[in-house]
Chain A
Amino acid sequence: MITFDNAGKRFGNLDAVKDFSITIKDGEILGLLGPNGAGKTTLMLMMGTVYRPTSGTISVNGYDVVKQPNEVRKLIGIAFQDPRVDGILSASDVLNWHLKMTTLFDKVERRRRVEDVLKSLDLWEARKKRTWLMSGGMKKKVEDAKILVQRPSIAVFDEPTAFLDVPSRLLVWKMIRQLRDEGSTVIVATNMMDEAERLSERVAIVNKGRLVASETPEQLKGTVKGGEVLELTLNDGSEFKADLLREFPEVHDVKQQDNKIMVFLNSGTLLLPKIVDTLSTRGFKIESVRLKEVSLEDVFLTYTGQRLE
């Protein structure tokens, strides 16, 4: 379990992270969602004992990151946003050395793990290529591979799919989920909505160094009042009265434009049959129905007042 208790990091006059408190449970995938400069990387580097918090405390499996940094480092592996690899070395050398430094595996096990991961990430053919000769996407995969071969108790990925094409992104997500299934706690910092939504069991929204919200993606969406929009087109809307739908507690607002009715509501999927039924029993003929669900972007906009992408 990882606990941030009012953790803060100050650089000169700038609070990169301030009063940040969260508990990350064992075996969960937590998405840290925030724009560039929100403090996500600082949070991860504090947890990884690279930065010392200037206020508050951070503990990893009971070890304080300031008082017991060596114990913490044994538990954590961080894949950085920008690949941190020696360009002169090959992917195979980079991974092998990382494993030697972080684990006690023998040569056979190291070779097996490196081969498995490089093959999975479609890097096997390029395993002897110097990393500085690789494309941005390949380098990024090598960076992710360091943690995928290590399989630490706590795996931290900073923008794990930046520079990657769509098939590679899906593959990395799958491998991160496998890592969690094998018992690792996973933290993924991202500014990509779909990554946070598809990968995380819980999303922590970070803005200007502060924790704004932390829930499952569904719970976060539920906090946006009337965030979903149900668009109904009636055959004849002249007799329609908005109060008819306002009786539902999940409905927050109803607007009409000729035959088009827009219902601002929550739990739209559950409520849709009831609304259709109500309108049908009152004699309205529905020509079309369209439900726009709340996206994580709407959630982010609600909490921070800004768009992420």
Chain B
Amino acid sequence: MSNTRLIPLIIERDVRVLFSDAFLVAIMFANFAIDLFVTAATFGRLVTGQGANYFLFIAPGSNLITAMVAAFQSGRDVWREKYIKDLTSYLLTLPVQRPVLAFSRVLGGVVRSVIATFPGTLVICYLYGILFTPKVFVAYLVVGLFSLGIVGLSMAVSAFSSSIEMWVTIRSVIQLYLSFLSTLFYSVSVFPSFLAPIVSSNPMTWAIQAFRQLSPISFAQVPAGDSLGSILILAGPSLAFAMLGTICYIWYSKL
């Protein structure tokens, strides 16, 4: 039995577990749409002087925060599978090689994130005027690549957390770093100089920049150019974290 045949099945299970309740999915999408609307109404009028509508400036970040939350859910599920539900031992008896199982779990998390942010990405692409261009696929690529790293990171966190409190604390620290030490809300020039390298090495910074560069609207402080360079830079940490998550899952699953 080919192990590659099993990869989509493992992803399918992860997706089913998160989206098994149609009502909850509808609520989630509605909630996201409301968030987006309120953010647009508030920031679009409140903050000016960015060279363009401020909402359009932060909208990709808002979307990536949703991706980040969904991605971290994968790590939490993996943690619960071991300590609460003891499903890990069952998964380990299935006829699939450990590395394939582990990487499939990471991919499952990515698919979940992309689905969770699907309407948001679509709305932002519409607002950016790229909905009916090939750039829409690049937008999903950016979300997927960003999620890949965060899912890997969340699985690594799960491996080293002996309690859910520890897991939540580490997650919060990482989320604070990704949200506030990045160019999500403001450009890097606003940060003190000693923080600039940290902000510049933040995957969120590169994911947002790649997204913003898809827009035909020019934002102040966003370097001109296509997204490819930013995507390539984002790919580095994302693949590294995905690898780390895979290795940690294999290590963590050894009962």
Contact = CB atoms under 8 A, between A and B. Distances in A.
Interface in B88-116: 89-90, 92-97
B17 A86 contact: yes
B255 interface: yes
Nearest to A70: B97
Contacts, number: 65
Contacts of A74: 1, 95
Interface string A41-54: 00001001111100
Which of A78, A86, A100, A130 has the largest number of chain B CB atoms within 10 A? A86
B20 interface: yes
Given A74-B1, A101-B6, A104-B1, A89 B16 contact: yes
Interface string B145-184: 0000000000000000000000000000000000000000
B85 A84 contact: yes
Given A86-B13, A86-B87, A97-B13, A50 B20 contact: no
A34 to B, nearest CB: 19
B17 A88 contact: yes
B20 A88 contact: yes
A97 B13 CA distance: 8
Q: How large is the interface on B (under 10, 10 to 19, 20 to 34, 35 or more residues)?
A: 20 to 34
Given A84-B87, A88-B17, A101-B9, A48 B97 contact: no
Given A74-B1, A97-B9, A49 B93 contact: yes
B150 to A, nearest CB: 22
Contacts of A27: none
Interface in B234-255: 254-255
Interface string B216-237: 0000000000000000000000
Contacts of B17: 86, 88-89
B254 to A, nearest CB: 8
B86 A84 contact: yes
Interface in A11-61: 45, 48-52
A50 B13 contact: no
Nearest to B13: A97
A51 B94 contact: no
Given A45-B89, A80-B89, A89 B255 contact: no
Contact of B92 (A50, A101, A130): A50
Given A45-B89, A82-B86, A86-B17, A70 B95 contact: yes
A4 B13 CA distance: 34
7 nearest A-B residue pairs (beta carbon): A84-B90, A73-B95, A74-B95, A48-B93, A50-B92, A88-B20, A101-B94
Interface of B: 1, 3, 6, 9-10, 12-13, 16-17, 20-21, 85-87, 89-90, 92-97, 254-255
Given A78-B90, A101-B94, 7 more contacts: A49-B93, A73-B96, A80-B89, A85-B87, A86-B87, A88-B21, A93-B16
